[in-house]
Chain A
Amino acid sequence: MKTFKLDTEPKINTGFIVPENYFEDFSAKMMQQLPKKETKIISIFEKKKNWMYAAAAILILALSLPIYTNYYNHSSEIDEATLENYISYHSTVSDTDLVNLLDEQDIQKMSVDMDIEDITIENELSQSNNLEQYLLN
């Protein structure tokens, strides 16, 4: 069998052909098809309008933020001050009732919490007009 050699053989072309006038038509078509690169002219007014929209959106967001946080912050816990106020204004519990409710341990605790010295109590009592009455009782 004859050995095939590319170098010794006459040059083999691809055999590919193109339609008549293909390249002329191609460049004409291509020139028409080229994406238009002109930058769109945006008027200053239009730009401003965009800014206004953006500002309005931010404003709405900012205003709705407290509503949003409040809505989600309904805590079931009541803070101490509210509770205290409520009790002092709305309850029928008198100071005497409260004192009666306190036991020895509570009083001890209160004295520790408040850290009241004897001298302070004495001063306080001496200034009070009802002292004699207390003493008599």
Chain B
Amino acid sequence: MQEEKEFIQELLNPKTQNQAFEKLLKEYQKPLYSHIRNIVLNHDDANDVLQNTFVKVFQNLIKFKGESKLFSWMYRIATNEALTFLAQKAKKSGISSESLQNKAIDNLKADVYFDGNDIQIKLQKAIVLLPEKQQLIFKMKYFEELKYEEISEILGTSVGALKASYHLAVKKIEAFVTKN
């Protein structure tokens, strides 16, 4: 924690800022990209959201009080940015968020940045049927392999509730894949 405080100071100090931010990028761009891509599904969108996320992180560092960990704070920003992006995109296209997601899944087959087969597509289709929060929890636990404690810090939900939610999500997904 002390180390993190020092790192934040480096990020705020104009002399060390650039170097520190580069370090932050190197450390977090991959996990944050995966997190965002899992929400928005398409690479170009994920790239846009990732950029916005880092700009927001940079702009708001001064306001970061250190009440939570830098890691969970950044994940929270990324999650909000990705969800807002999806909502705006759905609004622009005049369709529901769910239809937008379904469309994105259908587009995956033709996506050059998708290397999967039917099972991946089926899994995505099962996930889309879950409530938004359950989707997030499932993706963070199953794909991103985050610990419950970490997810709890990011989403502000108790570990117990997360476990219950994940369990429920798994059951629904298994039922969907079995049926289809």
Contacts and interface: CB of A to CB of B under 8 A. Distances in A.
Asked if A pairs with B, the answer is yes
A35 B58 contact: yes
A99 to B, nearest CB: 87
Nearest to A15: B116
Given A33-B51, A34-B21, A35-B59, A14 B120 contact: yes
Given A6-B173, A14-B116, A33-B55, A27 B22 contact: yes
B34 A16 contact: yes
A4 interface: yes
A63 interface: no
Nearest to A34: B58
A102 interface: no
B177 A14 contact: no
Interface of B: 14, 17-18, 21-22, 25-26, 29-30, 33-34, 37-38, 41, 43, 47, 50-51, 54-55, 58-59, 108, 113-117, 119-120, 123, 142-143, 170, 173-174, 177-178
A114 interface: no
Contact of B113 (A3, A17, A33, A38): A17
Contacts of B174: 3-6
A130 B50 CA distance: 110
A22 B43 CA distance: 11
Nearest to B47: A26
Contacts of A17: 113-115
Contacts of B34: 14, 16
Interface string A11-24: 01111111100110
22 contacts: A5-B174, A12-B123, A13-B120, A14-B34, A14-B143, A16-B37, A16-B38, A16-B113, A16-B115, A16-B116, A17-B113, A17-B114, A17-B115, A19-B113, A23-B33, A26-B33, A27-B25, A27-B29, A30-B51, A34-B18, A34-B21, A34-B58
A116 B160 CA distance: 99
A126 to B, nearest CB: 94
Interface in A61-91: none
Contacts of A19: 43, 113
Main SS of chain B's interface residues?
Answer: helix
Contacts of A26: 25, 29, 33, 47, 50-51
Contacts of B116: 13-16
Nearest to B58: A34
Contacts of A12: 119-120, 123
B29 A4 contact: no
Nearest to B18: A31
A16 B114 contact: yes
For A17, A35, A38, the residue with the greatest tally of chain B CB atoms inside 10 Å of its CB is: A17
Given A15-B114, A17-B113, 17 more contacts: A4-B177, A5-B174, A12-B119, A12-B120, A13-B120, A14-B37, A14-B38, A15-B120, A16-B41, A16-B43, A18-B33, A26-B25, A26-B50, A30-B29, A31-B21, A31-B25, A34-B58
